[in-house]
């Protein structure tokens, strides 16, 4: 689905101020998977791709691992984990607003 995604935490797992989060929205095609495409094993993750059908490697934002989706008034909230260069898992959340193209 086409949407605008707002990251709610920085690359260190710290909550972003509301103004900063609102200013950094990224447009793209949201993909939310509950299973690995090749094997079917459970694997919840979300990606924001530049367009529908684009390869996963072209993601606009780093993948959101262990993602959980919650529908809220006016949009959706995806919560999960990101990881840093030292492979430490960090808290991450996205606010997702569907848009018409």
Contact residues for 89 (Cβ-Cβ < 8 A; gap 6+): 65, 81, 82, 83
Structure tokens at 74: 């006016």
What's residue 2's pLDDT?
96
Q: Would you say residue 79 has pLDDT above 90?
A: yes
Separation between Cα atoms, residue 6 and residue 3, nearest integer Å: 10
Confidence (pLDDT) at 6: 97
pTM beyond cutoff 0.85: yes
Q: How far apart are CA 89 and CA 6, in angstroms?
A: 19
Which pLDDT belongs to residue 92? 94
Looking at the structure of the chain, the number of domains it has is 1
Judge whether residue 30 has pLDDT over 80.
Answer: yes
CB-based burial of residue 13 (10 Å sphere; 0-12 exposed, 13-18 middle, 19+ buried)? middle
58: domain range? 2-98
What is the pLDDT at residue 43?
84
């Amino acid at each position: 689905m086409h949407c605008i995604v707002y990251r709610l935490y920085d690359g260190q797992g710290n909550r972003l101020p509301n103004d900063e989060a609102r200013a950094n929205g990224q447009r793209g095609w949201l993909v939310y998977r509950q299973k690995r495409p090749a094997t079917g094993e459970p694997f919840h993750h979300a990606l924001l791709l530049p367009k529908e059908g684009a390869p996963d490697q072209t993601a606009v934002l780093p993948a959101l691992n262990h993602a959980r989706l919650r529908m809220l008034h006016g949009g959706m909230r995806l919560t999960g984990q990101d990881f840093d260069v030292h492979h430490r898992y960090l808290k991450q959340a996205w606010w997702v607003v569907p848009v018409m193209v």
